[in-house]
Amino acid sequence: MTGMGIGVHAANECLPRHRHADGYIAVVLGGGYHEAGDEGRFAAHPGTVVVHGRWTAHFDHFGNRGARVLNLPAIPGLAPGAGTIADVDIVARIAERDPVAAAEHVRAHCCADVGLSNDWPDLLAAVLRCDPDTPLAPWARHMKLDPASVSRGFARAYGVSPKRFRLEARTRRAIAALADWHGSLADLAADQGFADQAHLTRSVGAMTGVPPVVIRAKSVQAQGKQTG
């Protein structure tokens, strides 16, 4: 989990693609960077708010001024993605005494108006997020791209191959479905496009560190506490 508080990043620093077990909110206080992650690519500047969900991955390239980033705990009501907030100083001051209150302030005042990159790797990422079953070669030909070069170009943009990006998108969808799934894990695997239950279990375990049965049990326990 990313530590809460202000992180200082050096000029031209690069953070390779990495995954966060817990969600969090990043508020850019100064400087800037480019991020490429599960929700797309964008440029972050002072006032940019980035909401990271659980088990999401991204890489960052910081500019020639580096960046100061305030990390806040995730709270309900903020979907993963990027937005902006007008006054980061207020957020920073609230965070000094109460990080959760600062996150709630962000939720109340954040505007989702950060423009995402719209080059072909971003279009492919969006397609794979929405429909992980999309075949790559026909998509490339439809876009008048060489299928052999798509994997290399996508990996340069996102730090991961499109096949891996697709598998991770499918895995996150399966994890999200676990909470309300009443059938067998084999049925869930088939519903989410995995080869079989073992494939689902490996993929979920690789992303979260625990098998899907554990995640489902925790979801049932959490729902019981909410209704109890």
Tens digits of residue pLDDT in 84-106: 999 999 999 999 999 999 999 99
Percent of the chain with pLDDT over 90: 82
Chosen CATH of 5-109 out of 3.40.50.280, 2.60.120.10, 3.30.830.10, 2.140.10.10: 2.60.120.10
Helix (H) or strand (E) run with residue 32 in it: strand 24-37
- Summarised one tens digit per residue, pLDDT across range 159-210 is 999 999 999 999 999 999 998 898 999 999 999 999 999 999 999 999 999 9
Q: Which residues contact 166 (CB under 8 A, 6 or more apart)?
A: 128, 132, 134
- Summarised one tens digit per residue, pLDDT across range 67-89 is 999 999 999 988 899 999 999 99
User: How many other β-carbons are positioned within 10 Å of the β-carbon of residue 175?
Assistant: 21
Q: Where are the domain boundaries for CATH 2.60.120.10 in the chain?
A: 5-109
What whole-number distance in Å separates Cα of residue 90 and Cα of residue 93? 5
Distance in angstroms between the alpha carbons of the first and the last residue of the chain = 29
Amino acid present at 7: G
Q: What is the mean pLDDT of the chain?
A: 92
pTM of this prediction? 0.87
The CATH class for the domain spanning 120-227 reads mainly alpha
DSSP letter, residue 83: E
Q: Which two tokens stand for residue 132?
A: 């992980």
Q: Where are the domain boundaries for CATH 1.10.10.60 in the chain?
A: 120-227
Distances, alpha carbon 85 to alpha carbons 51, 94, 198, in Å: 12, 14, 44
Phi, psi dihedrals of residue 79, rounded to the nearest 5°: -80, 150
What whole-number distance in Å separates Cα of residue 228 and Cα of residue 123? 44
Q: Which residues contact 205 (CB under 8 A, 6 or more apart)?
A: 211, 212
DSSP 91-103: HHHHHHH-HHHHH
